[in-house]
């Protein structure tokens, strides 16, 4: 499927999601820091602040006109803490998930945290599109709708490559647009790419044991949408599903498939 990852970052929260063109789920990674305090202990920050305050007081006692650098040092410490936190996030994600991946990673954070993360990250497939702002309290569905819109061109490009492959192989008996062929093929893991027209239904039932497809023009009692069933089976088998507008469909059918091998 056209997968992606989403990393929601703030100083007080870190959430990691995996998604595709149909859904997005949160991944629970045990070692992933959930905020800067997981990486930089409060006691260390407090000790540094106490040390700076003491240094500033000593400087004030020795020179009335002294130039004080306590505030600047505080900013430097904050930047160091942030980078330490981001490195902790990146190293955990790299070790646990991303070292074997090549799909886009979308970052959701404020500008300077996005820029800093891109600088230190081991992962070479960070998306050029970002969600910019504070998404610490954004719910999963709202985040998914935002990131899916941002990745629309990625999904289109993926589908265009699959369509080209379909057309290039259409003379090799590797394609079918006959629902009674496509639906069983989806169930039995014979489909490589499934093309489905958006907002369409095929009502009926499929007897998997007898390999019999029954299709009705209108919905009848106990009917299922066979398109939905084919989509679910194709995804479960680890193959690709492309939801297309009518004019983009590769054949005059609401469901079409590029097969792993000829039927």
- Comparing CA positions, the residue from 229, 225, 238 lying closest to residue 208 is 229
Nearest residue to 259 (alpha-carbon basis) of 243, 237, 228, 226:
237
Q: What is the pLDDT of residue 160?
A: 93
Parallel, antiparallel, or unpaired for β 255-259 and 191-197? antiparallel
Q: What is the pLDDT of residue 44?
A: 47
Token pair 């490009």 is found at 157
- Closest by Cα among 244, 229, 225 to 191: 229
The β-bridge partners of 187 are none
Predicted local distance difference test score (pLDDT) of residue 41:
61
Contact 95, 88 (CB under 8 A): no
Q: What is the DSSP letter of 155?
A: H
| Segments of the chain scoring below 50 in pLDDT | 42-45, 47-73, 75
pLDDT on residue 133? 95
pLDDT, residue 42, reads 46
pLDDT of residue 40: 72
Query: pLDDT value at position 85?
Result: 94
Structure tokens that stand for 216 in this block:
């009705």
């Amino acid at each position: 499927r056209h997968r992606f990852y989403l990393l929601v970052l703030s100083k007080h929260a870190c959430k990691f999601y995996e998604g595709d063109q149909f859904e997005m789920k949160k991944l629970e990674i045990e070692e992933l820091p959930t905020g800067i305090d997981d990486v930089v202990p409060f006691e260390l920050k407090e000790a540094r602040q106490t040390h700076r305050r003491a240094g500033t007081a000593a400087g004030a006692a020795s020179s009335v006109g002294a130039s004080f650098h306590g505030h600047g040092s505080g900013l430097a410490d904050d930047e160091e803490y942030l980078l330490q936190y981001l490195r902790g996030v990146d190293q955990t994600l790299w070790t646990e998930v991303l070292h074997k991946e090549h799909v886009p990673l979308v970052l959701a954070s404020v500008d300077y945290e996005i820029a800093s993360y891109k600088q230190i990250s081991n992962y070479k497939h960070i998306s050029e599109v970002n969600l910019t702002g504070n998404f610490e309290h954004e719910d999963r569905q709202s985040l998914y709708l935002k990131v899916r819109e941002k990745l629309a061109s990625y999904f289109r490009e993926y589908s265009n490559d699959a369509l080209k492959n379909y057309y290039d192989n259409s003379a090799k008996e590797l394609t079918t647009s006959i629902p009674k062929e496509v639906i069983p093929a989806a169930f039995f893991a014979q489909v490589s790419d499934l093309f489905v027209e958006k907002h369409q239904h095929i009502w009926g039932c499929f007897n998997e044991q007898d390999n019999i497809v029954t299709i009705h023009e209108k919905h009848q009692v106990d009917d299922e949408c066979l398109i939905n069933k084919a989509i679910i089976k194709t995804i479960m088998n680890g193959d690709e599903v492309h939801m297309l507008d009518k004019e983009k469909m590769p054949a005059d059918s609401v469901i079409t498939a590029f097969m792993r091998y000829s039927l």
